[in-house]
């Protein structure tokens, strides 16, 4: 099966894509394009999958860069292939030939581009990273390379939608303590739980930060098991592990 890659007009003609699970070498609960070495999938299968993604982007496998994601607000600038695990949740570069990637399985993968300045970025933004400022940190790091946030485009890729994302009251409390206006991204769920609009919050934070354009592809990872991995869906199904989707962009 060939790879399925979701692209966004605002990021074209740059090489980029939000890869679905279709077209990979993994099997079982990881069936398809699992690109996460942190999963319990066979290492060889993940390597094949990442190589296929790199080839689709037109870069060598070693030029498909990523970080050890820790739900932080840290964005790093890369000028050459990263050696060893770097703990961060976003990458930016102005160097052609490097593909910046993030992994997700319900969290937001966000790809950034300032076409005129020729600076790109990629961020992994779950609720904690979004609250702590990973999206703004990515824009700051891009500006340090000469980008203009007012001319920057950001696209939120496939992630969990509000109707499928139930959280506890402690999550709402954390957001209200930071900004009472974020209450509008929560709806009543079951009992004392709430339904949280993660992509809605991401777009709000990006626009409040002064970005030129921010959109969501409107794909829900939880609701479409044929195309996407989902941590929460796997948990509800009591599966032992889950695959990781890769999203990437390059100059």
Helices then strands (H, E): number in the chain?
6, 14
Q: What angle do CA 129, 134, 136 make, to 5 degrees?
A: 140
**Least confident among 43-57, 83-97, 104-118, 216-230:** 83-97
Distance CA 57, CA 214 (A): 22
The answer to whether residue 4 scores a pLDDT higher than 90 is yes
Neighbours of 40 (CB within 10 A): 12
Contact (CB, 8 A) for 69 and 62: no
Helix (H, G, I), strand (E, B) or coil at 109: strand
Q: CA nearest 31: which of 234, 229, 238?
A: 229
What pLDDT score does 32 carry?
97
Task: Return the sign of the alpha-carbon dihedral for residues 155, 161, 167, 173.
Answer: positive
Across the range 189-213, mean pLDDT stands at: 97
Across the range 218-228, mean pLDDT stands at: 98
Q: Return the percentage of the chain with pLDDT > 70, whole number.
A: 100
What pLDDT score does 196 carry?
98
The answer to whether residue 233 scores a pLDDT higher than 90 is yes
Residue 76's pLDDT band (cuts 50, 70, 90): very high
Contact (CB, 8 A) for 157 and 247: yes
What pLDDT score does 85 carry?
80
What's the CA dihedral at 161, 179, 68, 153 to 10 degrees?
A: 70
Across the range 188-193, mean pLDDT stands at: 95
What pLDDT score does 156 carry?
98
The answer to whether residue 83 scores a pLDDT higher than 90 is no
pLDDT single digits (tens) 101-138: 999 999 999 999 999 999 999 999 999 999 999 999 99
CATH class of 5-159+213-250: alpha beta
Across the range 144-168, mean pLDDT stands at: 98
Across the range 192-221, mean pLDDT stands at: 98
What pLDDT score does 202 carry?
98
Question: Considering the entire predicted model, what is its pTM?
Answer: 0.97
pLDDT single digits (tens) 172-183: 999 999 999 999
The answer to whether residue 84 scores a pLDDT higher than 80 is no
Mean pLDDT in the chain? 97
The answer to whether residue 159 scores a pLDDT higher than 80 is yes
What pLDDT score does 82 carry?
75
Q: CA nearest 60: which of 51, 68, 47?
A: 51
Q: CA nearest 140: which of 121, 156, 124, 126?
A: 121
């Amino acid at each position: 099966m060939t790879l399925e890659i979701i692209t966004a007009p605002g990021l074209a003609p740059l090489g980029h894509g939000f890869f679905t699970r279709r077209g990979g070498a993994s099997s079982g609960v990881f069936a398809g394009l699992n690109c996460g070495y942190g999963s319990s999938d066979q290492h060889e299968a993940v390597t094949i999958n990442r190589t296929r993604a790199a080839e689709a982007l037109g870069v060598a496998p070693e030029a498909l860069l990523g970080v050890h994601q820790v739900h932080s607000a840290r964005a790093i600038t890369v000028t050459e292939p990263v050696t060893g695990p770097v703990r961060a949740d976003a990458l930016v570069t102005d160097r052609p030939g490097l593909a910046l990637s993030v992994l997700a399985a319900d969290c937001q993968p966000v790809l950034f581009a300032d076409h005129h300045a020729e600076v790109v970025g990629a961020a992994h933004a779950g609720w904690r990273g979004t609250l702590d400022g990973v999206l703004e940190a990515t824009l700051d790091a891009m500006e340090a390379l000469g980008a203009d946030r007012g001319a920057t485009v950001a696209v939120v890729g496939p992630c969990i939608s509000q109707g499928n994302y139930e959280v506890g009251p402690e999550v709402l409390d954390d957001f209200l303590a930071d900004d009472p206006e974020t209450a509008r991204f929560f709806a009543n769920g079951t009992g004392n739980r709430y339904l949280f609009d993660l992509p809605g919050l991401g777009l709000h934070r990006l626009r409040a930060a002064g970005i030129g354009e921010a959109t969501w592809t409107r794909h829900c990872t939880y609701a479409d098991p044929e195309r996407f991995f989902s941590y929460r869906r796997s948990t509800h199904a009591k599966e032992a592990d889950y695959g990781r989707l890769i999203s990437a962009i390059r100059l």
